[in-house]
A and B are shown apart, each in its own frame.
Chain A
Amino acid sequence: MHELSVTENVLEIACRHAEKAQAKKVTDIYLVIGKLSSIVDDSVAFYWDIISKETLCEDSVLHFKRIPAELVCQDCGTQYTLEDDLTPCPNCHSARVRVVSGDEFNLDSIEIERE
Chain B
Amino acid sequence: MAEKRIQIVENILNANDRLANQNRKRFDDARVYSINLMASPGAGKTSFILATIHSLLDTGIQIGVIEGDTAPVTIDSDKISAAGMPAVQINTGGECHLDAVMVENALEQLDLASLNLVIVENVGNLICPAAFNLGTHSSILIASVPEGDDKPYKYPNIYRGLEVLIINKTDLLPYIDFNLDYFREGVEMLNPGLITFSVSCKTGEGIDAWLEWLKAKIPEK
Query: What is the number of residues of chain B that contact chain A, defined by CB distance less than 8 Å?
Result: 36
Residue of A9, A14, A21, A112 with most partner-chain B CB within 10 A: A9
Judged by a CB distance under 8 angstroms, whether B14 is at the interface is: yes
A38 to B1, CA, bound (A): 37
A2, B131: Cβ atoms under 8 Å?
Answer: yes
* Interface set, chain A 76-112, CB cutoff 8 A to B: 85-86, 88, 95-99, 105-112
Task: Tell me the interface secondary structure of chain A in the complex.
Answer: mixed
Q: How far is the CB of B53 from chain A (nearest CB, A)?
A: 30
CB of B15 within 8 A of CB of A9, answer yes
Scan residues 67-122 of chain B and give those whose CB is less than 8 A from a CB of chain A.
95-97, 99
Main secondary structure of the interface of B (DSSP, over half): mixed
Q: Which residues of A contact B12 (CB under 8 A)?
A: 6, 9-10, 13, 31, 105-107
B189 touches A5 (CB 8 A): no
Stretch at the interface among B2-10, B135-143, B195-203: B2-10
Please give 8 more A-B residue pairs, beta carbons under 8 A apart, in addition to A2-B96, A96-B192: A86-B152, A86-B156, A86-B190, A95-B189, A105-B12, A106-B10, A108-B7, A115-B1
Say whether B50 faces chain A, with CB atoms less than 8 Å apart: no
A96 to B127, CA, bound (A): 23
Q: Are A9 and B8 in contact (CB under 8 A)?
A: no
Give min CB distance, A1 to chain B, whole Å.
6
In the assembled complex, A41 has its CB within 8 A of some CB on chain B: no
A102 to B16, CA, bound (A): 20
How far apart sit A14 and B12, CA to CA, in the bound complex (Å)?
10
Residue in A1, A36, A113 whose beta carbon sits within 8 Å of that of B156 in the complex: A36
| Cβ contacts under 8 Å, A99 to chain B | 160
Partner of B5, one of A5, A14, A107, A111: A111
